[in-house]
Amino acid sequence: MSEDNDKARLFRAAVELLGASGRQAVIPVEGVSMAPTFPPDSRVLVDFASRAPSIGDILLFHQAGSMVVHRFLARVDSREHGPCLRTRGDGLQALDPPLIDQDLLGLVIAFRRSGTWYRTDGSGARVWAVGVALHDHFWAAVSIAAGRVDRFLTRFGLPRRLRPAAGFLDRLSLRLWDRVCFRMLHRTSDPPDMKESDFKAQGLLRP
């Protein structure tokens, strides 16, 4: 077994142990798929107690051998997977693959951003979360439609420009919403009173 696979196995075992005990843990996130919500050097406080997510919640889940932190958008029925969750990284253009309940590990209940901790509960934070979820869902649909039009236009020798344009408007509108409303709608929080979990292995947890 390679070192990376061994780290992944140990990481999953540690997370599953936390989940089984209903504990909470502070976990570093890497990458830019949740930008601008999670800039570099962000941390999330994950609650592993089992409960159904609400639209806009940020989830920790299994995906393709990694632990992923993305936003919950809707519960749907898939022909292939049956009832499942749809998620997306705020900074990505496409939806994630369907998420089954068994792969859901926990919910983010607070996060550290630019050195300050913020709570995800409260009316303001819920308005923020639902607004971002609606944004993510809408622009994912626009991206899919734009991609189909682009593929049609290539039959006539025209360049594919609609989907990149949709991606640009997606990112721009989210950054404007973030800049104007984030601090206004979120309550700050004291740092969690616990030792940060040692889940920082590169590539094993990604936003």
CATH of the domain at 101: 2.10.109.10
Confidence at residue 28, expressed as pLDDT on a 0 to 100 scale: 85
The CA-atom distances, in angstroms, between 128 and each of 40, 105, 133, 150, 177 are 20, 23, 9, 32, 9
Q: Which domain holds residue 51?
A: 3-206
| Mean pLDDT for the chain overall | 86
Which residues, 6 or more positions from 180, have their beta carbon under 8 angstroms from its beta carbon? none
Confidence at residue 195, expressed as pLDDT on a 0 to 100 scale: 53
Local confidence band at 23 (pLDDT 50, 70, 90 cut-offs): confident
Q: Which tens digits make up the pLDDT trace of 38-82?
A: 998 899 999 988 788 999 999 999 888 788 999 999 999 888 878
Q: Is the pLDDT of residue 87 over 90?
A: yes
The CA-atom distances, in angstroms, between 35 and each of 2, 50, 94, 172, 207 are 31, 27, 14, 11, 9
Q: Is the pLDDT of residue 110 over 80?
A: yes
Confidence at residue 172, expressed as pLDDT on a 0 to 100 scale: 97
Q: Poorest-confidence range of 44-53, 93-102, 116-125, 135-144? A: 44-53
Cα–Cα distance measured from residue 59 to residue 109, given in angstroms and rounded to the nearest whole number:
9
Q: In three state form, how does the secondary structure of 42-105 look?
A: CEEEEECCCCCCCCCCEEEEEECCEEEEEEEEEEEEECCCEEEEEEECCCCCCCCCCECHHHEE
If one counts the domains in the chain, the total is: 1
Local confidence band at 26 (pLDDT 50, 70, 90 cut-offs): confident
Q: Poorest-confidence range of 83-87, 174-178, 201-205? A: 201-205
